Amino acid sequence: MGFFSKFKAGLAKTHNKLVHEIKRIVTRSPKLTGESLEELEQALIAADLGMAVTRQIVDAVKKAYESQGTTGHDVFVVAQAEVEKNLSSNKPDLLKAPSGPTVVSIVGVNGTGKTTTSAKLAHLIQSRGQTALLAACDTFRAAAIEQLKLWGTRLKVEVIASAYGSDAASVAHDAVTAAQARRADYLFIDTAGRLHTKHNLMQELHKLHRVIGKQLPGAPHEVLLVLDGSTGMNALTQAREFNKAVPLTGLIVTKLDGTSKGGMVVAIQKELGLPIKFVGLGEQPDDLQPFDARQFAQALFEE
């Protein structure tokens, strides 16, 4: 499947609901009325595009009608352009350290998709002809280490791990040593799920980052927060709070395939100004896509 088809398939739930709603509105009253604008606003909010972006789209639609007398179907074109505008400052892909391995710490609350995403990222790097290592730094949750090792076997990626209950920072330290020794291009660190309110767990994460920073100046080069897209606007709050506790370099939004609230990606980008680097569109290794503003906007609104 091509790049765009993947976006389209993964965002189908959000797309179908949005397009269905908008069509219903514009078919019933091809002349834009106050009522139909209100309904349009509701449909956009229901897709979790957020208040600011929703207002922006509604205003742009109104303007297009007033100045050019456009037809109902142009709502899609206008909405797509507005969404793209809000996303376009993205620098989508992973940084690359000038020398040595690039270390990427994958963080977030429980169950958002950190482990799966770490594995998918390693797979993506390998598919680009570069090398990746995985670090099993969730030494806390039962079966977390086995879960990552299983991915490692499946994708032929080496996993650096220790025992349950061991110090996550020391596993990370070992993993950086291994990545340097193997001359790996990337090291992805899978960390344990934690709420930003759990002070001791946040301290543990700080320590992990501090330890590898001492070992390899500049590391971690990326700290990526994994958000569960199906939690809609809650993910926005989560990202804001997490970013206060641990400075992030970017976001990954997963599980967009299972929700009709994919608009939250736009709201998050607009509110936080943090780049969305990748989106998760399914459970298979290939179901992680580098984020692309134009294709995302198109996948949401194209008829």
Ligand X SMILES: Nc1nc2c(ncn2[C@@H]2O[C@H](COP(=O)(O)OP(=O)(O)OP(=O)(O)O)[C@@H](O)[C@H]2O)c(=O)[nH]1
- Binding of residue 139 to Mg ion (CB under 5 A): no
Q: Exactly one of 50, 72, 101, 193 binds ligand X (CB under 6 A); which one?
A: 193
Closest distance of CB 4 from Mg ion, Å: 30
Q: Of 40 and 106, which has the nearer Cβ to ligand X?
A: 106
Interface of this chain with ligand X, residues 99 to 138, rule: CB under 6 A: 108, 110-116, 138
- Binding of residue 116 to Mg ion (CB under 5 A): no
- Binding of residue 115 to Mg ion (CB under 5 A): yes
Q: Of 35 and 241, which has the nearer Cβ to ligand X?
A: 241
- What does 270 interact with, of Mg ion, ligand X, none (CB < 5 to 8 A by kind)? none
- Provide the β-strand partners of residue 158: 133
Give me the helix-helix angle, 293-301 and 3-10, nearest 10°.
50
Q: Of 36 and 112, which has the nearer Cβ to ligand X?
A: 112
Closest distance of CB 112 from ligand X, Å: 4
Find the residue with minimal CB distance to Mg ion: 115
Q: Of 66 and 286, which has the nearer Cβ to ligand X?
A: 286
Closest distance of CB 182 from Mg ion, Å: 23
Q: Which positions lie near ligand X, rule CB under 6 A? A: 108, 110-116, 138, 141, 144, 193, 254-255, 257-258, 280-283, 287
Chain contacts with Mg ion (rule: CB under 5 A)? 114-115
